[in-house]
Amino acid sequence: MLRWVRQQLGFDPPHQSDTRTIYIANRFPQHGHYVPQKFADNRIISSKYTVWNFVPKNLFEQFRRVANFYFLIIFLVQLMIDTPTSPITSGLPLFFVITVTAIKQGYEDWLRHKADNEVNGAPVYVVRSGGLVKTRSKNIRVGDIVRVAKDETFPVDLVLLSSDRVDGSCHVTTASLDGETNLKTHVAVPETAVLQSVANLDKLVAVIECQQPEADLYRFVGRITISQQTEEIVRPLGPESLLLRGARLKNTKEIFGVAVYTGMETKMALNYKSKSQKRSAVEKSMNSFLIIYLIILLFEAILSTILKYAWQAEEKWDEPWYNGKTEHERNSSKILRFISDFLAFLVLYNFIIPISLYVTVEMQKFLGSFFIGWDLDLYHEETNQRAQVNTSDLNEELGQVEYVFTDKTGTLTENEMQFRECSINGIKYQEVNGKLTPEGFSEDSPDGNRHSLMKEEELFLKAVCLCHTVQINADQTDGADGPWHANGIAAPLEYYASSPDEKALVEAASRVGVVFTGTSGDSMEIKSLGKPERYKLLHVLEFDPNRRRMSVIVESPSGEKLLFTKGAESSILPRSKSGEIDKTRIHVDEFALKGLRTLCVAYRRFTPEEYQEVGKRLHEARTALQQREERLADVFNFIERDLELLGATGVEDKLQEKVQETIEALRLAGIKVWVLTGDKHETAVSVSLSCGHFHRTMNILELVQHKSDSTCAEQLRQLAKRIKEDHVIQHGLVVDGTSLSLALREHEKLFMDVCKNCSAVLCCRMAPLQKAKVVRLLKTSPEKPITLAIGDGANDVSMIQEAHVGIGIMGKEGRQAVRNSDYAIARFKFLSKLLFVHGHFYYIRIATLVQYFFYKNVCFITPQFLYQFFCLFSQQTLYDSVYLTLYNICFTSLPVLIYSLFEQHVHPHVLQSKPVLYRDISKNAHLGFKPFLYWTILGFFHAFVFFYGSYLLMGEDTSLLGNGQMFGNWTFGTLVFTVMVITVTMKMALETHFWTWINHFVTWGSIVFYFIFSLFYGGIIWPFLHTQDMYFVFVQLLSSGSAWFAIILIVVACLFLDVVKKVLYRHLQPTSTEKAQLTEAGSGINCLDSMCCVSAGEAAGASLRGVLERVTGRCGAGRPSRCGISLGSLCCRRLSYKLEPEEPAAVDV
């Protein structure tokens, strides 16, 4: 009973076995003791909040931020004790920040709810009570038989029961799961494949036992027990029987399947990996600065409290005649009075902590991220793909990268394979005019004569045509006329393959005479020199990364049982006992040196007894529920031995455009490039040389093929010694996967020392997790460098997620890398623009934004602190409470936000053509302690000038107002506040290099708005305000000519030294960036227009129209002809000259 109660309360979850038992159509056994297992319903939930928990959960998350929690405490203190300022002064900004953030997060979650409801409410057909019943997706239960029609998406994870094909097969595409657009074939077990009608399926009595849900898309272990009359038939179920939720049915009219995993237990839902939150270096610096300012705040509050009591030690100041104490105040505890006064000063100075900083930074990151997607220079026309931003939290991190880790295949190369050479029976061949020609043999025969193939050549090509997972377009195989054009000429077959290598090999074989024409049931059909042959497919030994090979067992037309195997030479050659092994090994190495991807091909003939043993072992391993993978691996090893080597293939994967230039630019920018690939050593080195990763003059060091710790350590010590001796020349390091494992086990520090002293590092034969381990190793080293990982395949996901910044390439290996990345681009060459331009701009913008926020708040609160020395530390406020509230929200917020979105201190073309400028901002140079100290001291200096300048010029004079009235404390405070608003706004204007009409509007508009607001606020008696201290104060201040003189003089005095400092530094110690600005000025680049580029003849309203188009997303790929500079750079024009795409930019670099 107690256990049941604990289970109901959730403290003791019910025991779950390692397997689940599913009764098809929910026909449970009739005996009384059976308790059905509990399964999840089929609702998908991707949302974060519900209507009931949104407010508490969102508030909890927001108040976990230090600044928000701090202002909440201040607000509560103001409510509880008598403080000098109204609770509204801190409550309103806090409410504004919390509300804006909650609205943003609530809207994003509402969109997720909307998407969930659309998915969960989709109509589906289920077999119930002998007929098809239409219901909603969320109502599907485990065990239901579901019907899915052509081009529909599977609503749950299904085990295929039957299809409209006799053999029970169907084709699906898993593009939405792993991005692979090829057709995959799935098959039903023979006993259920014949049940093609609802009536027959309704009579099916069967039980499925399978593993509990797991995230691995390619792993499924189960078995189905079918009851037929008196016997029970057991069949294995594997990934080929499982149809995944999110996949789409293709080239098949309809299928029936039984639901095995539903809702959040489907493999698609389990792959909704909650990525660990990545935090940028700027955010960490921001938090450090916040702590320093908290210390300053506490110091000022404690000092003020102590000075108050020191001042009141004299009796005449303790209780002056005009401000007598009440009886309660005289009798209260001194400790309580001290605490109360300390809290009051804390409240008075609390605005030194900029609460609106967080919301401004969030808006800057969110809005700024659109510029990457809008940048036409990052648009790839051939594939119609734009750059994509998956997270905007790391924009500025793009400007801090020190190490780039890149995949090779599909990232540096096109992943478009072209057959180049092969080796058959120890002889090298090339394809010439659609014929296999031995090396050195000139082909003189006319094209019309068919070249006859030798026996070895034909067997090799048959192996290539039979050992693969290639599919053929169904329109070509299903037609009655076969693959023929209307004019009677044979049409080339259209192949689909998950591996580009396989597709290239099958297409090459078809060109030279052995054509794979498709599958029919369990048969594979080929045409060898025009003669049709049918091979019965008996077993497929699937490819896996550990074996690095795949095999098929087929029955030839003559009845012979044959095994065809292809894979990496390291997994095929050691298992071969005959054939030209030595010659083939030499040829494979030669292919690799040319940068070709190599595969070896072998075969084996089975005797009837051997095949019987193989079939028995395979059946036992495939029907096992426990340790199925291990058993299958053992059986595969047993089968794939004593091979006869047929030959090897060499396929070229050509380099992407401008890869060499991009890698060279990264090197000039001070970024080290590491290539992490699964390719063999020779291929990887060859590609590294061809793409410029390794230079021909570079000293290449190798750490490869080590089997023990001792040899690996000794080699590392020798490499370290060589680097020390030859420190003048550049070094490149090559390390393979096995040696890397040994090096990381016990010699991590030595390995890292060697790597850091090398200009380029190449890691080959790498497993996916090894890639992530290398990134983590460097990321956590003492220097804590910022890392970037870029790749295009599912095997790069772990590396992409581990790095500070992960970039996915929209390649041909699917979309998993793109989905799990922070940013996605179509080609590797776009990386230079992303880092050198966007990264540079984002970093400069946010670094200035953060430090400017702290500066303007120091300017704001320091006069308040100084004022206490003139009012006996009575906690009298210098500014009106409305000014306190609106200073950060209205008067000074927009200029810095617009600056942080549009600032371009150097022209984009200069940044991209001079990668060395990237070094100026590396290692968080603009947000280090020195720049922070400069901005803080500048803030204190300006605050002292505001206060004492106003005091010296106006404070002692009582007759400056036109009507002869005395100059009061509110007038003095308003004068200080007016000077401050103008100065901090002008300071932002001094920092701005790139002026658009928006910058002009918000900069001068903020000052004008302040004056207009103050006139209205002080010129009218507002009935809802219980005090009207500011009535007519501002009007009287502006009526005094002396006040205007004081304002101008103080503003000039503040900014004059700043201007002098800038001029002197620029001429005496200019940085590379400042030199580039001078180069830019000399070249005549002039940024007069804003947002979208226009020609000189366009109307004046074109700019505004461009802004609107940008906001609505219409300033897109259709507009590249209007401007050679990208939209994402907020491009500009010269009035007399229009940049065209084919013209070089007018930048002399």
Query: pLDDT for 341-368, tens place per residue?
Result: 888 888 888 778 877 787 788 888 888 8
Place of tokens 């009796």: 315
Per residue in 291-304, pLDDT (tens digit) is 888 888 889 889 98
**pLDDT at residue 500 is higher than 60:** yes
Dihedral sign of CA atoms 640, 643, 649, 654 in order:
positive
Could you tell me which of 1054, 1039, 981, 901 has the C-alpha nearest to residue 374?
901
CA angle 612, 617, 622 (to 5 degrees): 125
Report, as an integer, the average pLDDT of 679-698.
76
Report, as an integer, the average pLDDT of 140-153.
90
Please report how the helices 455-466 and 500-511 are oriented relative to each other, as an axis angle in degrees rounded to 10: 140
Alpha helices in 516-575 (DSSP H): 569-572
- Which residues, 6 or more positions from 913, have their beta carbon under 8 angstroms from its beta carbon? 1147, 1149
Q: Residues 386, 773: contact at Cβ < 8 Å?
A: no
Q: Which two tokens stand for residue 635?
A: 């059986």
Report, as an integer, the average pLDDT of 247-269.
87
In the three-class reduction of DSSP (H, G, I as helix; E, B as strand; rest coil), residue 808 is classed as: strand
Concerning whether 407 is annotated as a catalytic residue, the answer is yes
Q: How far is CA 611 from the centre of its chain?
A: 49
- Which residues, 6 or more positions from 6, have their beta carbon under 8 angstroms from its beta carbon? 12
Q: Residues 1133, 1066: contact at Cβ < 8 Å?
A: no
Report, as an integer, the average pLDDT of 868-893.
82
Q: Which of 443-452, 816-825, 899-908, 926-935 has the lowest mean pLDDT?
A: 443-452
CA angle 1066, 1068, 1072 (to 5 degrees): 55
Q: CA 299, CA 292: separation in Å to the nearest integer? A: 11
- Which residues, 6 or more positions from 194, have their beta carbon under 8 angstroms from its beta carbon? 162, 168, 200
Binning pLDDT at 50, 70 and 90, where does residue 982 land?
very high
- Write down the pLDDT at residue 1120: 34
- Write down the pLDDT at residue 520: 76
Binning pLDDT at 50, 70 and 90, where does residue 482 land?
very low
Give 495's strand partners: 472
Report, as an integer, the average pLDDT of 286-314.
84
**pLDDT at residue 481 is higher than 70:** no
Alpha helices in 427-545 (DSSP H): 455-466, 474-478, 500-511
Binning pLDDT at 50, 70 and 90, where does residue 1101 land?
very low
Could you tell me which of 524, 715, 679 has the C-alpha nearest to residue 595?
679
Q: CA 1043, CA 950: separation in Å to the nearest integer? A: 9
- Write down the pLDDT at residue 1111: 34
Q: From edge to edge, which strands make up the β-sheet containing 123-128?
A: 131-136, 123-128, 145-149, 254-261, 157-163, 242-243
Q: Residues 852, 988: contact at Cβ < 8 Å?
A: yes
Binning pLDDT at 50, 70 and 90, where does residue 13 land?
very low
**pLDDT at residue 777 is higher than 80:** yes
Q: Which two tokens stand for residue 502?
A: 């396989």
Q: Which two tokens stand for residue 360?
A: 């401004």
Written as one string, the DSSP assignment of 109-144 is HHHHHHHHHHHHT-EEEEEETTEEEEEEGGG--TT-
1097 DSSP 8-state letter: T
Q: CA 1057, CA 1045: separation in Å to the nearest integer? A: 19
Q: Tell me which H or E stretch contains 844.
A: helix 840-867
Could you tell me which of 656, 682, 651 has the C-alpha nearest to residue 502?
651
453 DSSP 8-state letter: P
Dihedral sign of CA atoms 971, 973, 976, 979 in order:
negative
Q: Tell me which H or E stretch contains 747.
A: none
Residue of 178, 393, 407, 679 marked catalytic: 407
- Write down the pLDDT at residue 452: 65
The proportion of the chain whose per-residue pLDDT surpasses 90, expressed as a percent, equals 11
- Write down the pLDDT at residue 290: 84
Q: What is the 3-state secondary structure (H, E, C) of 173-211?
A: ECHHHHCCCCCEEEECCHHHHCCCCHHHHHCCCEEEEEE
Q: Residues 809, 824: contact at Cβ < 8 Å?
A: yes
Per residue in 892-933, pLDDT (tens digit) is 889 999 999 998 888 888 888 888 888 888 888 888 888 899
Q: CA 573, CA 552: separation in Å to the nearest integer? A: 18
Q: Which two tokens stand for residue 1034?
A: 């501002």
- Write down the pLDDT at residue 956: 61
Integer CA distances (angstroms), 87 to 90, 95, 878, 889, in order: 6, 12, 16, 16
Q: Which of 273-277, 574-578, 1073-1077 has the lowest mean pLDDT?
A: 273-277
Please report, as a single letter, which amino acid is at residue 401. V
- Computed over every residue of the chain, the mean pLDDT equals 78
Q: Which two tokens stand for residue 38?
A: 């509990």
Number of residues that make up the chain: 1149
Dihedral sign of CA atoms 765, 770, 771, 777 in order:
negative
**pLDDT at residue 1046 is higher than 50:** yes
Could you tell me which of 406, 382, 376, 399 has the C-alpha nearest to residue 657?
382
Per residue in 415-424, pLDDT (tens digit) is 677 888 899 9
Please report, as a single letter, which amino acid is at residue 515. V
- Write down the pLDDT at residue 708: 77
Q: Which two tokens stand for residue 619?
A: 């059946």
φ/ψ (deg, to 5) at 291: -65, -40
Q: Which two tokens stand for residue 418?
A: 């072209």
φ/ψ bin of 724: left (φ > 0), alpha (ψ from -120 to 50), beta (otherwise): alpha
φ/ψ (deg, to 5) at 158: -115, 145
Rg of the chain, C-alpha, whole Å: 37
- Write down the pLDDT at residue 261: 92
Q: Within the chain, how many helices (H) and strands (E) appear?
A: 41, 35
Q: Residues 439, 825: contact at Cβ < 8 Å?
A: no
Q: How far is CA 700 from the centre of its chain?
A: 33
Q: Residues 1129, 904: contact at Cβ < 8 Å?
A: yes
- Write down the pLDDT at residue 317: 61
Could you tell me which of 1055, 931, 911 has the C-alpha nearest to residue 988?
1055
Binning pLDDT at 50, 70 and 90, where does residue 1008 land?
very high
In terms of C-beta density within 10 A (0-12 exposed, 13-18 middle, 19 or more buried), how is residue 153 classed? Answer: middle
Q: CA 935, CA 847: separation in Å to the nearest integer? A: 11
Q: Residues 52, 82: contact at Cβ < 8 Å?
A: no
Alpha helices in 964-1101 (DSSP H): 969-991, 997-1019, 1033-1038, 1041-1068, 1072-1083
Q: CA 735, CA 755: separation in Å to the nearest integer? A: 10
Q: CA 583, CA 870: separation in Å to the nearest integer? A: 96
Integer CA distances (angstroms), 1029 to 328, 363, 1021, 1022, in order: 28, 35, 10, 11
Per residue in 985-1002, pLDDT (tens digit) is 999 999 898 899 999 999
